[in-house]
């Protein structure tokens, strides 16, 4: 009788230890992120729009998909005047598929009738995010001036009404004025992307993260960072493309 009770006691104790061990192992497994879906512990990215009222600024911006025959162009901008502290910032846009259509870039001062610049763009060899370097084009933004910019593809150069157009607005904040308001991060790294987005400098945040991805296109954390920034201004289609790019590269 005593032997039977002792045997039952030992069995019960063993079962408790096994169950406890399973819980411990399960908790440990959950605490270690998988390599396929490793989580980013960085704080969420937040973009703060300018407080002063600005006109609706984005032209185009809705990505319908790649099943159509025509390429889609999306300016990577908010639907208001985006800010920069740079005299010669980089402008970024998205092309849904390679195209043979002639591409043009136009920059306008909103207070003037004639364009400040209008010229052809080289045709990208692949779909994705593209860049326009104003410094390379010899263009400098004046402070406290609102500019409109456009990228257009022409299916028929003799019929401009059929042009596929995307664009946005940009304003340069005078450097000294910006410094009196807040601390502008002039470096280019992950932290500066978050800082400049938080204090409202869209073009500096987007230009930096695009530059980082160009240098290291297979880094999934950079793709997620840009996708988070794009979602802040409703560009979900391009954000989804960025996240799909991670899966395609096997990250």
CATH number at residue 152: 2.60.40.10
pTM above 0.75, yes or no: yes
In a domain, 100, yes or no: yes
- The residue among 224, 231, 228 whose CA lies nearest residue 247 is 224
Separation between Cα atoms, residue 232 and residue 241, nearest integer Å? 15
Burial-class residue 176 by CB neighbours within 10 Å (0-12, 13-18, 19+): exposed
The per-residue pLDDT for 12 is 41
Quickly list DSSP for the chain.
Answer: -HHHHHHHHHHHHHHHHHHHHHHHHHHHHHHS--STTPPP-SPPP-----SS------B------S-SSS--EEE---SS-EEES-SS-EEEEEESS---S-EEEEEEETT-SS-SEEEEEPPPSSSEEEEEETTTTT--PPBT-EEEEEEEE-S-TT-GGG-EEEEEEEEEPPHHHHHHHS----S-SHHHHHHHHHTT-HHHHHHHHHHHHHH-TT-HHHHHHHHHHHHHTT-HHHHHHHHHHHHHTT-
Distance of CA 241 to CAs 40, 237, 246, Å? Answer: 19, 6, 9
In a domain, 210, yes or no: no
Separation between Cα atoms, residue 129 and residue 222, nearest integer Å? 13
Please list the pLDDT of the chain residue by residue as tens digits (251 residues).
443 433 333 334 343 333 333 333 333 333 323 333 445 567 889 999 988 878 889 998 666 654 568 899 999 999 999 999 999 999 999 999 999 999 999 999 999 999 999 999 998 989 999 999 999 999 999 999 999 999 999 999 888 889 999 999 999 997 666 655 556 667 899 999 999 999 999 999 999 999 999 999 999 999 999 999 999 999 999 999 999 998 766 54
- The residue among 56, 241, 247 whose CA lies nearest residue 146 is 56
In a domain, 24, yes or no: no
List the domain range (segments joined by +) for residue 169. 73-187
In a domain, 31, yes or no: no
The per-residue pLDDT for 8 is 36
The per-residue pLDDT for 27 is 34
Burial-class residue 206 by CB neighbours within 10 Å (0-12, 13-18, 19+): buried
Token pair for 32: 């270690």
The per-residue pLDDT for 185 is 66
In a domain, 215, yes or no: no
In a domain, 21, yes or no: no
Beta strand 128-133 with 90-95 is antiparallel
In a domain, 216, yes or no: no
In a domain, 22, yes or no: no
Domain count of the fold of the chain: 1
């Amino acid at each position: 009788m005593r032997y039977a009770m002792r045997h039952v006691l030992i069995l019960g104790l063993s079962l408790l230890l096994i169950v406890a061990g399973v819980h411990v192992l399960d908790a440990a497994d959950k605490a270690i992120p998988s390599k396929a879906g490793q989580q980013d512990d960085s704080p969420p990215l937040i973009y703060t729009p300018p407080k002063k009222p600005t006109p609706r600024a984005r032209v185009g911006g809705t990505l319908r998909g790649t099943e159509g025959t025509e390429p889609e162009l999306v300016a990577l901008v908010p639907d208001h005047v985006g800010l920069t502290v740079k005299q010669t910032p980089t402008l970024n846009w998205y092309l849904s598929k390679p195209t043979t259509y002639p591409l043009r870039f136009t920059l306008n001062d909103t207070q003037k009738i004639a364009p400040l610049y209008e010229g052809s763009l080289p045709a990208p060899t692949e779909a994705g995010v593209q860049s326009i370097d104003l410094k390379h084009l010899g263009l400098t933004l004046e402070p406290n001036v609102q500019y409109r910019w456009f990228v257009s593809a022409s299916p028929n150069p003799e019929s401009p009404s059929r042009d596929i157009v995307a664009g946005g607005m940009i304003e340069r904040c005078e450097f000294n004025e910006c410094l009196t308001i807040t601390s502008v991060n002039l470096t280019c790294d992950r932290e500066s992307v978050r800082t400049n987005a938080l204090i409202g400098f869209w073009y500096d945040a987007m230009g930096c993260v695009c530059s980082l991805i160009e240098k290291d296109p297979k880094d999934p954390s950079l793709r997620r960072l840009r996708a988070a920034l794009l979602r802040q201004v409703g560009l979900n289609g391009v954000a989804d493309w960025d996240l799909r790019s991670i899966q395609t590269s096997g990250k």
